[in-house]
Amino acid sequence: MTTMNKQWHLVSRPSGEPTPDNFKLVEAPVPELQDGQVLVRNHFMSLDPYMRGRMNEGKSYAQPQPLNAVMQGGTVGEVVASKSAAYQVGDKVVSGGGWQQYQLADAQAQAMMRKVDTTHVPLSAYLGAVGMPGVTAWVGLMTIIEPKAGETVVVSAASGAVGAVVGQLAKAQGCRVVGLAGGPDKCKAVTDEFGFDACIDYRQHPDLKSLSAALKEACPKGIDGYFENVGGLILDAVMHRANAFSRIAMCGMIAGYNGQPIPMAAPQLILVNRMKVQGFIVSEHMQHWPQALKELGMGVASGKLKYRETVAMGIEAAPQAFIGLLKGKNFGKQLVKLI
């Protein structure tokens, strides 16, 4: 009996915000397994803000998402058929399976596919706190911000998959940690669940003067490190409160993912405060992944590292969940559950 595979293709490039019309659900039979290949049934697929940038044609740090092809992205699942000695039926794996129910993979060519142990870490966590978002948090904080005990670290999108991990890691380094998030529920979780010292609801501070005043109150000793996920007004407000020799890890600029310009109000502060501002892409720091994954896995397994997930049910829900993610409707890591 032929196994059918549902996949989402990108069929047109968005102008501004993506719409469901940019995607098409395609159904196709799973090809016959060849020697050296494995068939993975994806249990969860990951939705991430970076995917919006890849939907554009223009130059970026990654190749654009091809049209009329499976949307690319991270997945976790189970090997259901194998003609490779490297993988057995039943193995749980994390890989870049994309927006589809099944993935046929060449075991030798899958550098990003690896087995995972779900004894103490849930499978879905390998797409979040113990996956690319968690490693992103670790690399940006530990190698760029390089926090020292007693310093103040600020994190935007603090309730998200990356931001929540940044804050918890910074607290473990002995820092005062202040988050920014949208809405009282998210802010409450940032302090009560994730252990930040304070969280500012940016929706209550719609202008630079108000947001700067809120940061001054939350960061009485100024800001030494900032993990940037958003850009725009929040970045401007942080710049006004930054200390000399402060460090900014530029991870994401979600304020501009739909093509809006993101002017900076006072770039001269970079010079005045002798700031380090460094962008980074986590896939270019593979040398840090083993250590980061080990520490993150131990944190989740022990219960010390907390995380939240928003789960959309069924592959059909993917486009709407992705559009919601870009508007901040998710809480923590956005996933789609496929089985």
- Torsion-angle region of residue 247: left (phi > 0), alpha (psi -120 to 50) or beta? beta
Note the pLDDT of residue 93.
97
Please report how the helices 132-139 and 289-302 are oriented relative to each other, as an axis angle in degrees rounded to 10: 110
Taking the domains of the chain in order of start, what are their residue ranges? 4-128+308-337, 132-283
Burial class of residue 186, CB neighbours in 10 A (0-12, 13-18, 19+): buried
Whether 162 and 128 have beta carbons less than 8 Å apart is answered as no
N-to-C CA span, the chain: 19
Residue recorded with tokens 């994806």: 42
Note the pLDDT of residue 110.
58
Pairing mode of beta strands 242-250, 276-279: parallel
Whether 251 and 278 have beta carbons less than 8 Å apart is answered as no
Side chain identity at 170, as an amino acid letter? A
User: For residue 153, what is the enclosing H or E element?
Assistant: strand 152-155
Whether 259 and 233 have beta carbons less than 8 Å apart is answered as no
Per-residue model confidence as pLDDT tens digits over 41-66 = 999 999 998 899 899 987 666 789 99
Residue recorded with tokens 């010390």: 304
Whether 119 and 300 have beta carbons less than 8 Å apart is answered as no
b vs e for 244-254, b when ≥16 Cβ sit within 10 Å of the residue's Cβ? eebbbbbbbbb
Whether 289 and 70 have beta carbons less than 8 Å apart is answered as no
Asked: is 4-128+308-337 a CATH 3.40.50.2300 domain? The reply is no
Architecture of domain 132-283 in this structure = 3-Layer(aba) Sandwich (3.40)
Side chain identity at 164, as an amino acid letter? A
- Asked if 4-128+308-337 and 132-283 have one fold, the answer is no
User: Quick one: which of 295, 290, 303 has its CA closest to 173?
Assistant: 295
Low-confidence ranges of the chain (pLDDT < 50): none
Q: How far apart are CA 51 and CA 321, in angstroms?
A: 13
Q: How far apart are CA 154 and CA 223, in angstroms?
A: 7
